[in-house]
């Protein structure tokens, strides 16, 4: 069955077609609203919703054309429409949910509400080799930092999460403080490459005590006080200072995530680690984990960079997995949940 996936939970409109039987992504298209929100330094929810509305129809047409499906033949060829039902911005979610349910009704196929984080979590399944269950998953995105023990689709046990800011959010805030632009993660990573290693040392929050919880809000404050101190002592913050701070900040986040991943693998005895979400695109994080994995005989999986951040492919894939589950109830209800704990998901 071919599943159409629609993602619109935040600032990306993403659509994709996934063939479940052939385990193959047929086509995907994406419109990122980064340029639209950049001038505000973060996502403006109302602008996001309006832009999704503008983009959905042209993106669908582009997607069908890319997959070689002729106009008017979407119905016969697509077997289900999966859409992000939450968590996310309510207005943005509703645009995708209404569009998906409308298409499903017109085509006479089921509409499947998908949990956005389940989409991220399963995204590494779009790659070869695919990770097999069970595994430890590190979900690191703009809104989440979670370690999960994953036994199968819908069988997720939360091992630990951030008690305050998500890792991606911390990257975004640090970048904003330094005036590096939006979104912050890729900018900080870029600047860090020019940074002098070890000139500054940022704390590693919550690594001294046992457990798998994270905290990133202190790093943000540390970043601010470091910049203020430089300003006071030198009269200004130079480009090189910013690069050095970016290096130290990234090093602290990567180190903290690495320490907790290592701990989760030891605690569960599992030999597979899956990373997903926007921050999993970070090359310093990837190389740190790969280096460890190589030594310890652990397999590490992550999606290609384009599928680390929000996209339609992960929603199509997660929708297909959900459709395989017995007892899945089909409904014409338009589901949109701004908050939706993953613990509420059923296997």
Ligand X SMILES: Nc1ncnc2c1ncn2[C@@H]1O[C@H](COP(=O)(O)OP(=O)(O)OP(=O)(O)O)[C@@H](O)[C@H]1O
Vertex 19 angle, CA 13 and 21, to 5°: 150
Asked if 172 touches ligand X (CB under 6 A), the answer is yes
7 sits near ligand X (criterion: CB under 6 A)? no
* Residue closer to ligand X (CB basis): 95 or 282: 282
SS (H, E, C) 9-43: CCCEEEEEEEECCCCEEEEEEEEECHHHHHCCCCC
Give me the 195-234 binding string for ligand X, x by CB under 6 A, dash otherwise.
Answer: ----------------------------------------
Binding of ligand X by 118 (CB under 6 A): no
Q: Are 124 and 276 in contact (CB under 8 A)?
A: yes
Name the segment binding ligand X (CB under 6 A); options: 29-37, 127-135, 180-188, 312-320: 180-188
Check residue 184 for interaction with ligand X (CB under 6 A): yes
Contact 67, 27 (CB under 8 A): yes
If one asks whether residue 86 binds ligand X (CB under 6 A), the answer comes out as no
- Among 47-55, 66-74, 235-243, 277-285, which window interacts with ligand X (CB under 6 A)? 277-285
Judged by CB under 6 A, which stretch of 27-35, 60-68, 210-218, 279-287 contacts ligand X?
Answer: 279-287
At residue 129, what are phi and psi to the nearest 5 degrees? Answer: -70, 150
User: To which residue do tokens 């632009």 refer?
Assistant: 181
Is 141 a binding residue for Mg ion by CB under 5 A? The answer is: yes
Of 311, 275, 52, 40, which Cα lies nearest the Cα of 145? 275
Q: State how far the Cα of 218 lies from the Cα of 293, in Å rounded to an integer.
A: 29
DSSP assignment of 176-204, as one string? HHHT--SSHHHHHHHHHHTSPTTSS----
> Binds 282, which of Mg ion, ligand X, none (CB < 5 to 8 A, cut-off by type)?
ligand X
311, containing H or E segment: none
Is residue 282 a contact point for ligand X (CB under 6 A)? yes
Which residue has tokens 């929603």? 315
**DSSP string for residues in 130-193:** PPPSSEEEEEESSS-EEEEEEEETTEEEEEEEBSSS-HHHHHHHHHHHHT--SSHHHHHHHHHH
Taking the least distance from each CB to Mg ion, the nearer of 165 and 310 is 310
Give yes or no for residue 74 binding ligand X (CB under 6 A). Answer: no
Residue with smaller CB distance to ligand X, 215 or 267: 215
* Full 3-state SS string of 70-86: CCCCHHHHCCEEEEEEE
Contact flag: residue 310 with ligand X (CB under 6 A): yes
In the chain, DSSP finds a helix count (H) and a strand count (E) of 11, 10
- Least distance to ligand X from the beta carbon of 149, Å? 19
Q: Is 143 in the site for ligand X (CB under 6 A)?
A: yes
Verify binding: residue 186, ligand X, rule CB under 6 A: yes
- Quick one: 20 or 143, whose CB is closer to ligand X? 143
* Nearest CB to Mg ion, comparing residues 95 and 141: 141
* Residue of 28, 165, 251, 310 that binds Mg ion (CB under 5 A): 310
Q: Does 28 bind Mg ion (CB under 5 A)?
A: no
Residues forming the site for ligand X (CB under 6 A): 10, 88, 116, 120, 141-144, 168-169, 171-172, 183-186, 189, 277-279, 281-282, 309-310
Residues forming the site for Mg ion (CB under 5 A): 141, 310
């Amino acid at each position: 069955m071919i599943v159409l996936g629609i993602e619109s939970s935040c600032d990306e409109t993403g659509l994709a077609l996934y063939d479940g039987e052939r385990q193959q992504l047929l086509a995907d298209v994406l419109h990122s609203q980064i340029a639209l929100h950049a001038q505000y330094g973060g996502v403006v929810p109302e602008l996001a919703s309006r832009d999704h509305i503008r983009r959905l129809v042209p993106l669908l047409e582009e997607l069908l054309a890319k997959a070689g499906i002729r106009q008017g033949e979407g119905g016969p060829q697509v077997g289900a429409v999966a859409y992000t039902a939450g968590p996310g911005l309510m207005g943005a979610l509703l645009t995708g949910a209404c569009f998906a349910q409308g298409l499903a009704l017109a085509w006479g196929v089921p509409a499947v509400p998908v949990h956005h984080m389940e989409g991220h979590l399963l995204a590494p399944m779009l790659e070869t080799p695919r990770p097999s269950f069970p595994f430890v998953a590190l979900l690191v995105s703009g809104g989440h930092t979670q370690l999960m023990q994953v036994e199968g689709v819908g069988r997720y046990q939360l091992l630990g999460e951030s008690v305050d800011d998500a890792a991606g959010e911390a990257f975004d805030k640090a970048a904003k403080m330094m005036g590096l632009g939006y979104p912050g993660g890729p900018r900080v990573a870029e600047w860090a490459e020019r940074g002098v290693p070890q000139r500054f040392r940022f704390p590693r929050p919550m690594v001294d005590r046992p457990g798998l919880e994270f905290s990133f809000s202190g790093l943000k404050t540390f970043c601010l006080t470091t910049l203020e101190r430089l300003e006071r002592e030198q009269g200004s913050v130079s480009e090189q200072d910013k690069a050095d701070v970016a290096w130290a900040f990234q090093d602290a986040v990567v180190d903290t995530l690495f320490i907790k991943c290592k701990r989760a693998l030891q605690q569960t005895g599992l030999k597979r680690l899956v990373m997903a979400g926007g921050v999993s695109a970070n090359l310093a994080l990837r190389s740190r984990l790969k280096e460890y994995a190589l030594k310890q005989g652990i397999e590490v999986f992550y999606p290609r960079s384009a599928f680390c951040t929000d996209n339609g492919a992960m929603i199509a894939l997660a929708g297909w997995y959900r459709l395989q589950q017995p007892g899945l109830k089909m409904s014409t209800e338009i589901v949109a949940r701004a908050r939706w704990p993953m613990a509420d998901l059923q296997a």
